[in-house]
Structure 1
Amino acid sequence: MTGQKTGLKVDNLQVSFRDRQVVKGISFEIPTGVRVGLIGESGSGKSVTALALMGLLGEDAKITGSISLAGKELLSLTDREMSQLRGSEIGMVFQEPMSALDPTMRVGKQVAEVLTLHQRDQHGKREKVIKMLERVGLPEPANSANAFPHQLSGGQRQRVMLAMSLINAPQLLICDEPTTALDVTVQAKVLRLLDKELSRTGSACLFISHDLAVVSQICEQLLVMYQGEIIERGSRREVLEHPKHPYTRGLMATANIGSVRPGQPLPVLTDFLRGAGAK
């Protein structure tokens, strides 16, 4: 990553809820235009990390360390200042778009609201919205803009979320399990779309998933998280071809269950950690 302009820099980030430490002093950087995958099983601290970056953790969360975007320290910002960054400089795509979209509002208006909140120039707003819906592959975008979320398929709703997250070309896009709820065919289409749009905007991207195969399709760099710590990092090739930590090797083995021969025992993640000194 040497010589690249840093978009996001996280230094010794720690997140606790009461007496329970969930994120334990993690550090990483994402240069502008680079996609980094954050991999780990449920409960490893991935989503808490994402919410900390977005400033969306509740008042009961204790956060220390540093999170900076283009040199701006985010942890020192007020709630109002963070609200101004969300949707403009930071975009986020959630796992289940139905819970993120307003069911009572037409999707075109929801995309338009992102422009209204973060752009002074409102000229041609509807045209910009239709163009963005077209870019993300919604059929008949002018008609789709008039639909309510429940009238669209799961894949189409996720495309609306992508449109909302990318319409202001944010410096950083955070994707938290964005394809988990989709079938394999739709998942592949959404990943291709995301790849195309990230190349167009030049946004840095943190792609969070438990699925090593999905992350490896979209990201150049990988971080592996286990029990609140980053236990392995490197290029996609380094991590996939030469995993050093038993947990990473276990993730790769469980991801390849389809290759297990009849009669052969299925790989179990805890088998790789047992006796390996993993926390």
Structure 2
Amino acid sequence: MKNPSPLLEIKDLSIKFPSEAGVVSVVDDFNLSIGRFDHCCLLGESGCGKTVAALSILNLLPSSAVIEGEVLFNNKNLLDLKPAEIRQIRGKDIAIIFETPASCLNPVMSVGDQISEVIKRQGFTRKQARNASEELLARTGVSDPKKRARQFPHQFSGGMLQRVMIAMALAAKPKLLIADEPTTALDPTVQIQIIELIQDVVNELSSSLLLITHDLDVASELCGNVAAMYAGQIVETGSLHKVFNSPRHPYVQALMKTFDHNRFRPIGGSPPPLTCPPEGCRFHPRCPEAEKLCSTQKPLMKNGVRCPR
């Protein structure tokens, strides 16, 4: 029996921005495949290009971005779509939970009206959408949803705003949910609640999940597959169990050592500036196992790992 095609397949993605220092490549040679019903984590240090890569999926980057490659969703290249066509997919077939919901919600619209906007796009009346928005707030753990639906974003805490964003994602019934650092800046107890809520959402909708995070605990709770990213490139892919327990790339090995809750083991050095990445392997200046060829030979992905050795 022939295997079904992936829900999302990103091929040879490259993203560049003009700057005073010249053209800066923030994502390079990026390839990622997410199957139907798969839960995949894009893991890496802050600034490695995770969010930029994810935003390119729905053409949410500034117009100055130069994007090359293919982003295939249901075998359709999203990079070829016109603005009106991508709007039919954005927020419907693909929904996003942003890291900072307070800056993504409209401050002069009630949260109920903002959720209703998503529902009305599916052909429901204004009254039906209002009732459905209140039901969604209740399902995501917002108390007194009828009252809260009439309130504005500034009247909600950070954890409650994330629940509003998740309610909007539920309203869209997406095939793919992108969660960009969904637990950042939340209290530990609220983080656990949000993780459990996202699990419930993707399971209820049978959605695929792309989680963007640098938090290994969150990744281990939500995902079955991992793509580790460093300085704009994916350096290792595989099942979460395999990558977490038997990492092959030196960067991922060092990253996993920080997962030891009994002892904090920081990675020496700092990520390179993307305006001037090192020659050869981008991790070699920080790599304890670096050899001479690591500084000269550009590594390619082979069998799920990018390492010249």
State the distance in 1 between where 2:192 and 2:288 align.
37
Runs of 4+ in structure 1 off by over 4 angstroms are none
- 1:269 aligns to what? 267
Contact 2:250 / 2:287 at 8 angstroms: preserved in 1?
no
- 2:41 aligns to what? 37
State the distance in 1 between where 2:225 and 2:250 align.
19
Give the partner amino acid of 2:122.
Q
* TM superposition shift of 1:84: 2.0
1:160 to 2:164 alignment: yes
State the distance in 2 between where 1:143 and 1:181 align.
26
State the distance in 1 between where 2:118 and 2:169 align.
8
- 1:263 aligns to what? none
Pick one of 213, 219, 222 that aligns with 1:218. 222
Query: Is the partner of 2:118 in helix, strand or coil?
Result: helix
1:181 to 2:185 alignment: yes
User: TM-score by structure 1 length?
Assistant: 0.92
Q: Percent identity?
A: 38
State the distance in 1 between where 2:26 and 2:134 align.
41
Provide Cα deviations, 1:103-140, integer angstroms capped at 9, x if missing partner. 22111011001122x31233721221112111111112
State the distance in 1 between where 2:158 and 2:142 align.
12
- 2:275 aligns to what? none
- 1:90 aligns to what? 94
RMSD over equivalenced CA pairs, Å: 1.7
- 1:121 aligns to what? 124
Provide Cα deviations, 1:60-79, integer angstroms capped at 9, x if missing partner. 11111100111111000012
* TM superposition shift of 1:275: 3.7
State the distance in 2 between where 1:138 and 1:9 align.
35
1:57 to 2:70 alignment: no
Provide Cα deviations, 1:53-100, integer angstroms capped at 9, x if missing partner. 121111111111100111111000012211221111110011111101
State the distance in 1 between where 2:119 and 2:148 align.
18
- 1:13 aligns to what? 13
Runs of 5+ consecutive residues of structure 2 not aligned to the other structure? 270-282, 296-309
State the distance in 2 between where 1:253 and 1:245 align.
13
- 2:199 aligns to what? 195
State the distance in 1 between where 2:157 and 2:140 align.
14
Contact 1:95 / 1:181 at 8 angstroms: preserved in 2?
no
1:75 to 2:79 alignment: yes
Contact 2:44 / 2:50 at 8 angstroms: preserved in 1?
yes
Contact 2:7 / 2:74 at 8 angstroms: preserved in 1?
yes
- 1:148 aligns to what? 152
Contact 1:47 / 1:208 at 8 angstroms: preserved in 2?
yes
User: TM-score by structure 2 length?
Assistant: 0.83
Runs of 5+ consecutive residues of structure 1 not aligned to the other structure? 261-265
* TM superposition shift of 1:4: 5.2
Contact 2:94 / 2:178 at 8 angstroms: preserved in 1?
yes
Higher relative contact order (CA 8 A, sep 6+): 1
